[in-house]
Amino acid sequence: MKLHEYQSKQIFAKYGVSIPRGRVVTTAGEVKHLAEELGNRVVIKAQVLVGGRGKAGGIRLAKTAKEAEELATHILGMELKGLPVRKILVDEAVSITKEIYLGITNDRTARKPVIMASSAGGVDIEEVAARTPEKIVKVHIDPLLGLREYQARDLALAIDLPRNLWRSFSDVAAGLWNAYVACDATLAEINPLVITNEQRLLALDGKMVVDDNALPRHPELNEMRDMDVEDEAEVEARKYGLSYISLDGEIGCMVNGAGLAMATMDIIKLSGGEPANFLDIGGGASAEKVAAALRIILADSKVKAVLFNIFGGITRCDEVARGILTALKEVNTQVPMVVRLVGTNAEEGRRLLAEANMATAETLLEAAQKAVAIAKGA
Amino acid sequence: MSILINRNTRLLVQGITGNEGLFHTTQMAAYGTNVVAGVTPGKGGEWVLDGKIPVFDTVKTAVETTGANTSVIFVPARFAADAILEAADAGVGLIVCITEGVPVQDMMRVRTYIDQKKVRLVGPNCPGMLTPGECKVGIIPNNIAVPGNIGIVSRSGTLTYEVLYALRAAGKGASTCVGIGGDPVNGTNFIDVLDMFESDPRTEQVVMIGEIGGSDEERAADFISSKMTKPVVGFIAGQSAPAGKRMGHAGAIIEGSSGQAEGKIRALEGAGVRVARHPEEIPSLLR
């Protein structure tokens, strides 16, 4: 789960990282007052969970409180990459001598966190990473020992930071590390970390991604979730413990298991169709869960056919069949369906569905080809 | 012969009195696995499966009393890291964690700790292992595989069952099937298992089932081309998956240009692996 800039920076500040004075507000009037309070020169920043906000016009410098109000009015009416701007962060403007990059993420291959720093911080860090990767210095962190001070010093040296700033750079790195650990983050990033004219280090922007698997033990972070970036059907699915992702195709699919769900999408594509969704009902799904899943699939008006691929193990095929029948009683639909049931109680499941007048298939390939043919005919 | 589990496996079940733990213990025992003990803190002294399996409070006492050499974990995600560490500290040599949803920072700490010991962890978020006709550790359905000469290693659960089922339908059997799990940081990777299959006399060919996310398949391809003599057939799930979306498994995500199916398929084909277009094509690509 991604956190907003203002949320990330507040967390960093809690762990000792200096951030500009500022606050998040929702109206242009508040922006004006805040600008007056902060000394007129302020930066107005749209709080939307997309990259490239600055280039899209969502970040502006205002020299007076009146200008701040005007800019805020404009930005609050904007959409950035399809998402509405509802919140604005107003930060005091600071004079900058240099922009640095500092971030911590998980290195899957090394199975350890890695801290990265670059003297070429700022908006083009992704280009720096792609074109001149040697300008980004990386140090792996032992997750049992944590970030050591010498490692932070190594980074400071490697990015040619002036000696008088090493101490405060170590403090920022330690603060970022502590925030990363405390929040179960998969990414904690300050870009840019700036050196001000007064030779202070300040986190001008911040970004955090929290491990979804860790959210149950961080209810305070879970509450920060921005529903604007959430797909309605995906939220509904989550309520039932279903893993659902909307796609653009015309064949809805219901599968047990994530790998098999992906393989089912792939074989639909291989057979000349396009999947409308990824849907994993999980292991041992009840009839209620299956019914909810089918309602979610059928709520997508693009769906021209539904493919069920159930490999019964812990999941019982007869229970899945009951769920399908329950949902069909509630939802009046003309969408044709293809069912493939294999494994635990498959025969009982097929018997239950015989009266529902659905196409059946023995193999996965046959099921996919039938679904594609039906969807094209419909 | 087989790898990791066989007739000599003495299995301990952590979380044996929970719903899932008890159900799958029954299934494993029915398969013929030698389940010697269970652990649930606070329930030591009880017995399960009609008085056949003793329950202990700690892994240490269970191991000391029963000589368990392998542990399978069914505890909820928030207790999983602790359960793995407890088993490792009690001297269990092979730990299989079925639990899904373990936070990745937990796994980085666990992995770093157990790497200092002589312990093999399989999983988490995996279906476990099966040596057909001998031993099952985990949740793979009992009746879908027969003994044979094909080693199977997979990041997925039900997709693996699908492949085992297709193999059996084609009259082909498995030496051992290992589910390594769908998390970004796990205990055992493709290369570990490929290496074991390469030295296992019974395994004559290998099926490797990967998916989008990370670069384990690419590194496995390097290993196959430089170290393996046995033929490998592969399949990669997620060719139609969009970028930036986690496809159910915590580790199944395309980040930027990394982790895409295409690159993995190209790497495997470059290493001489015959890559199936869909799971049911796998048997026809084997010898």
The per-residue pLDDT for A305 is 96
- A247 interfacial to chain B (CB closer than 8 Å): yes
The per-residue pLDDT for B254 is 87
Q: How far apart are CA B236 and CA B155, in angstroms?
A: 10
Contacts of A133 (CB under 8 A, 6+ apart): none
Q: How far apart are CA B274 and CA B196, in angstroms?
A: 20
Instruction: With a cut of 80, say whether residue A265 has pLDDT above it.
Output: yes
Q: Do A143 and B249 touch (CB under 8 A)?
A: no
| Eight-state DSSP code of residue A223 | T
- A137 interfacial to chain B (CB closer than 8 Å): no
Q: How far apart are CA A296 and CA A278, in angstroms?
A: 12
Q: How confident is the model at residue A378 (pLDDT cuts 50, 70, 90)?
A: low
Q: How confident is the model at residue A313 (pLDDT cuts 50, 70, 90)?
A: confident
Backbone angles phi, psi at B232, to 5 degrees: -125, 135
Mean pLDDT of A120-139: 87
- Dihedral angle sign, alpha carbons of residues B217, B223, B225, B229: negative
Instruction: With a cut of 80, say whether residue B1 has pLDDT above it.
Output: no
Tell me the pLDDT tens digit for each residue of A93-121.
999 999 999 999 999 999 999 999 999 88
Per-domain boundaries in chain B = 11-122, 144-285
Q: Which residue of A has its CA nearest to B278?
A: A267
A220 is catalytic: no
- Dihedral angle sign, alpha carbons of residues B222, B223, B227, B230: negative
Q: How far apart are CA A72 and CA A44, in angstroms?
A: 7
Contacts of B226 (CB under 8 A, 6+ apart): none
Nearest-5° Cα angle at A43, A38 to A45:
125
The β-bridge relationship of strands A79-80 and A136-140 is unpaired
Backbone angles phi, psi at B140, to 5 degrees: -65, 130
Question: Chain A residues with CB inside 8 Å of B144's CB?
Answer: 343
Q: How far is CA B148 from CA A340, B4, B33, B168, in A?
A: 27, 16, 18, 10
- A129 interfacial to chain B (CB closer than 8 Å): no
Tell me the pLDDT tens digit for each residue of A27-60.
999 999 999 999 889 999 999 998 889 889 999 9
B249 is catalytic: yes
The 3-state DSSP class for residue B28 equals: helix
The per-residue pLDDT for B125 is 95
Alpha-carbon B92 to chain mean position: 17
Of the candidates A111, A261, A266, the beta carbon closest to that of B278 is on A266
Q: How many CA atoms lie within 13 A of B246 on its CB side?
A: 13
The per-residue pLDDT for A162 is 95
- Helical (H) or strand (E) element with B232: strand B232-237
Mean pLDDT of B123-141: 96
- The active-site residue, picked from B120, B155, B249, B264, is B249
ipTM above 0.95, yes or no: no
Tell me the pLDDT tens digit for each residue of B247-284.
989 899 888 778 999 999 999 999 999 999 999 999 99
What residues 55-84 of chain B have any CB closer than 8 A to a CB of chain A?
Answer: 77-78
Of the candidates B104, B241, B247, the beta carbon closest to that of A106 is on B104
Q: Which residue of B has its CA nearest to A187?
A: B105
Asked if B249 and A259 touch (Cβ cutoff 8 Å), the reply is yes
CA proximity to B221, closest of B194, B203, B243, B242: B194
Asked if A259 and B158 touch (Cβ cutoff 8 Å), the reply is yes
Question: Chain A residues with CB inside 8 Å of B112's CB?
Answer: 111-112, 142-144
Q: Do A278 and B104 touch (CB under 8 A)?
A: no
Question: Chain B residues with CB inside 8 Å of A113's CB?
Answer: 105, 108
What residues 300-359 of chain A have any CB closer than 8 A to a CB of chain B?
Answer: 311-314, 342-344
Burial of B220 (0-12, 13-18, 19+ CB in 10 A): buried
The per-residue pLDDT for A145 is 97
- The active-site residue, picked from A6, A101, A240, A244, is A101
Nearest-5° Cα angle at A132, A131 to A138:
125
Question: pTM here?
Answer: 0.94
What residues 270-289 of chain A have any CB closer than 8 A to a CB of chain B?
Answer: 270, 274-275, 278, 280, 283
- B18 interfacial to chain A (CB closer than 8 Å): no
Mean pLDDT of B26-43: 97
C-beta neighbour count of B278 within 10 angstroms: 21
- Chosen for mutation from A1, A184, A278, A369 (greatest number of chain B CBs closer than 10 Å) is A278
Q: How far apart are CA B220 and CA B267, in angstroms?
A: 9
Q: Which CATH number fits domain B144-285: 3.60.21.10, 3.90.550.10, 3.40.50.261, 3.40.50.300?
A: 3.40.50.261
- Per-range mean pLDDT, top range of A286-300, A321-335, B66-80: B66-80
Residue pairs between chains A and B whose CB atoms are closer than 8 Å: 161
Tell me the pLDDT tens digit for each residue of B96-109.
999 999 999 999 99
The per-residue pLDDT for A332 is 82
Of the candidates B23, B104, B278, the beta carbon closest to that of A270 is on B278
Under the phi-then-psi rule, with left for phi > 0, alpha for psi from -120 to 50, and beta for the rest, what region is A131?
Answer: alpha
- B161 interfacial to chain A (CB closer than 8 Å): yes
Please provide the CATH number assigned to the domain covering B11-122. Answer: 3.40.50.720
User: In the numeric block, which tokens belong to residue A16?
Assistant: 């000792």
> DSSP letters of B51-96?
TTEEEESSHHHHHHHH---EEEE---HHHHHHHHHHHHHTT-SEEE
